[in-house]
Structure 1
């Protein structure tokens, strides 16, 4: 099949103007990228952990040096606030710092007790790891899996989302400027059909995807057919619980920030706000007032609090979810109308009285629309939170931190819990979910060991 007449296109969500077109690769061109990564891997795997760490440290330095150019490219491609783009590059550099420091210790050989003999466990690289990544964090999504895999000694391939094609290529060039062997990190400009053939390629030994649960099922099934390891991060409708003893001002302020961060387009955004009877009316009132004051605008303007959504399709899908929720009984408190202006904007929107059967209750709303749900009491709030098919992140607001921690550990059926705060990711803490939010972990020691051959060696 020839893709010479087809291309990937990036469009600025603020201006709705085309940025660039990138020709799709032919099957032979894509295969050559895989081969280059595989060949580079054969040498890279033999480098010591310390040698790999030195290159990853250099990548961190190059990230900081290139921050402004990278941030502006991301904002142009996906519409995120420029300061959020800068913070994203900072997070990527911090991931490199952590990996370079912790990697040699975490991945070092371990001696194990074996009766009469000597036993060792090595964490050996397995080969080329293929990552399929979304557009909402053009740098972070790619760095998150690639830096850990490179530290482990693997080769890495990236199929980035069409919307941020330029960012994927920028990252490849940044890695190579910092001293990563040419070709070890390869970017594939390919279609979904071609992607299946990459998964089938015998040189590819592992697959990781961040995306929808539908995409995760398809990629996970394809990889399972071939008995290839996968890590899947599939989004969520994260619940933040406002318990009876919550500090209401802190809860409102944090939940507003948690919903509109990254223009509301983050898998671990705070999305459902489950508030006990005691605080419900006061929370809805204060939350709506805060949302009504949020300024839409140019993401490069420091005063802007909410930029455009990434595409018209994403914006229209969110609007449809809001409308259907209202039709099924949700109360539209603020927002909910598409503004008459250039750019794929959607206003900060508040839905109250959200209940089962409504998209705002059941599904993930990927944009700046908040769902507020009433609970009878603290345990009812946890029951509602856990009734979701998703389980990526979530939060608890309570003045009794010890109790909140116990509720988080013993009762909250999700991969990450934030108590009296909102955050996205931190290099030392594992990131990932349960249920249809996926499986496997990124970050921390757990993430460094996802794509390695844990090999036993016994000496008699």
Structure 2
């Protein structure tokens, strides 16, 4: 039995009986049968369904947001924004998939030669709880637009969201078998992946989960995309606009109660503006409203599970023993963790070396550009980095020296349907979104017509 528990109240929302082998086999059969038809649909036909689900999302934003907030504690205003972003990704691929997947004619000595992008088959998605709608839609929509069918294994604590997402696809009129939710535990993922009918897998989650799935996919010679953890740096140079930079950095760290792979988790500030910046930063963090996630003006809710809050507490305590100084927050009550700021964080501290998945910000001073580059790249993660400077030539010179999958200048790292999203090192491989994302699960097929 899988339980969905409200992290704010501690109450059980609903219990879900796991799919039996018989049910799973029926879902696989439906997905395979539908794939043979769905792949023959024109891109304009698929786009109609995708536009329809975008409309379903817009018409039911409040309903879907309420479930997000109940199951993982996201403040309701942020939950609504998440659903709206899902509608955006539907619009983007409905409008742009045809161009992204059009045949690419290449001049050779043939009568005609080209590359066409054909679907692979059933694609398994394994998705996390922190953005329970967005993570699913940014994977599923381009995958479906490419002509594949989707099986989705969602995180066990957001099965209510998983159920509503499947309902949304059905309400939008998608043919039976295009998109199906699997009610299973993580232990059963490998058995689904091993099935010959499943052709590839995309996972967003932790390193252990990614390693396990990637290992099995590699053993089976099946493509995989991994979007794993991150420890993004926010680099504040002495010439930055401090007022705007502080606002952006507070948002980057504390939105979604800090539970985001692309949150800014390591704040690096040039020494000449260090004290001034820290003072302004603390002032704004103090103003963040904590409270019931159901309240529209709440910005800091609760963490999704108490064990996650306990782990964050351990990371903080260990870092304080290594010389970091706590200047704001630091207290935990069950799933609630106060917005916390720690200064003078050493590069050997756990909150510098590890991913912190919650509302704790560590601040580290640096002297030179080269030192900043070293501190950013010292991380075992490589998802994204934000740099803040008014000197765009300086920014251009620095960008190529960072190892991360994304560099944002004077802005927090964020996903955008129009741009590729993904990381390097332990943040994973492959790309979602943009034209790169829709081509992850296709067969780039060479076609050659010989001249007579």
| TM superposition score normalised by structure 1 | 0.96
1:243 aligns with 2:241: no
**2:183 matched residue in structure 1:** 189
In the TM superposition, residue 8 of structure 1 has moved relative to its aligned partner by 0.8
1:417 aligns with 2:411: no
Which residue, out of 154, 170, 177, partners 2:148? 154
Which residue, out of 422, 426, 450, partners 1:432? 422
Post-superposition Cα deviations, 1:209-234, rounded to whole Å, max 9, x if no partner, equal: 01111211111111000000000001
**1:297 matched residue in structure 2:** 291
Per the alignment, in what secondary structure is the counterpart of residue 457 of structure 1? strand
Post-superposition Cα deviations, 1:33-74, rounded to whole Å, max 9, x if no partner, equal: 222111111110111111111111111111111111111111
* Contact kept? 1:128, 1:156, Cα under 8 Å: yes
Which residue, out of 305, 309, 317, partners 2:311? 317
1:31 & 1:373 partners in 2: Cα distance?
Answer: 52
1:180 aligns with 2:170: no
Which residue, out of 20, 42, 63, partners 1:69? 63
2:305 & 2:11 partners in 1: Cα distance?
Answer: 11
CA RMSD, aligned part only?
Answer: 1.1
1:252 & 1:313 partners in 2: Cα distance?
Answer: 30
Per the alignment, in what secondary structure is the counterpart of residue 273 of structure 1? strand
* Contact kept? 1:24, 1:189, Cα under 8 Å: yes
Which residue, out of 155, 159, 165, partners 1:165? 159
In the TM superposition, residue 388 of structure 1 has moved relative to its aligned partner by 0.5
Per the alignment, in what secondary structure is the counterpart of residue 103 of structure 1? helix
2:146 & 2:10 partners in 1: Cα distance?
Answer: 41
**1:24 matched residue in structure 2:** 18
**1:144 matched residue in structure 2:** 138
Gaps of 5+ in 2: none
Which residue, out of 42, 49, 69, partners 1:48? 42
In the TM superposition, residue 120 of structure 1 has moved relative to its aligned partner by 1.9
1:274 aligns with 2:264: no
* Contact kept? 1:268, 1:392, Cα under 8 Å: yes
* Contact kept? 1:27, 1:194, Cα under 8 Å: no
Post-superposition Cα deviations, 1:1-47, rounded to whole Å, max 9, x if no partner, equal: xxxxxx11111111111100000112222222222111111110111
Which residue, out of 384, 387, 406, partners 1:396? 387
* Contact kept? 1:272, 1:372, Cα under 8 Å: yes
Gaps of 5+ in 1: 1-6
Which residue, out of 372, 382, 385, partners 2:376? 385
**1:206 matched residue in structure 2:** 200
**1:4 matched residue in structure 2:** none
Query: How many equivalent pairs are there?
Result: 450
| TM superposition score normalised by structure 2 | 0.98
In the TM superposition, residue 424 of structure 1 has moved relative to its aligned partner by 2.0
Segment of structure 1 superposing worse, 189-198 or 357-366:
189-198
* Contact kept? 1:38, 1:184, Cα under 8 Å: no
Post-superposition Cα deviations, 1:176-233, rounded to whole Å, max 9, x if no partner, equal: 1111111221111112221110110100000010111121111111100000000000
1:308 & 1:427 partners in 2: Cα distance?
Answer: 28
Alignment of 1:339-358 (within 5 A): 339=333, 344-358=335-349
1:192 & 1:163 partners in 2: Cα distance?
Answer: 12
**1:442 matched residue in structure 2:** 432
In the TM superposition, residue 423 of structure 1 has moved relative to its aligned partner by 4.4
2:378 & 2:290 partners in 1: Cα distance?
Answer: 33
1:34 & 1:334 partners in 2: Cα distance?
Answer: 51
1:193 & 1:399 partners in 2: Cα distance?
Answer: 49
* Contact kept? 2:51, 2:90, Cα under 8 Å: yes
In the TM superposition, residue 306 of structure 1 has moved relative to its aligned partner by 0.3
1:87 aligns with 2:77: no
* Contact kept? 1:133, 1:159, Cα under 8 Å: yes
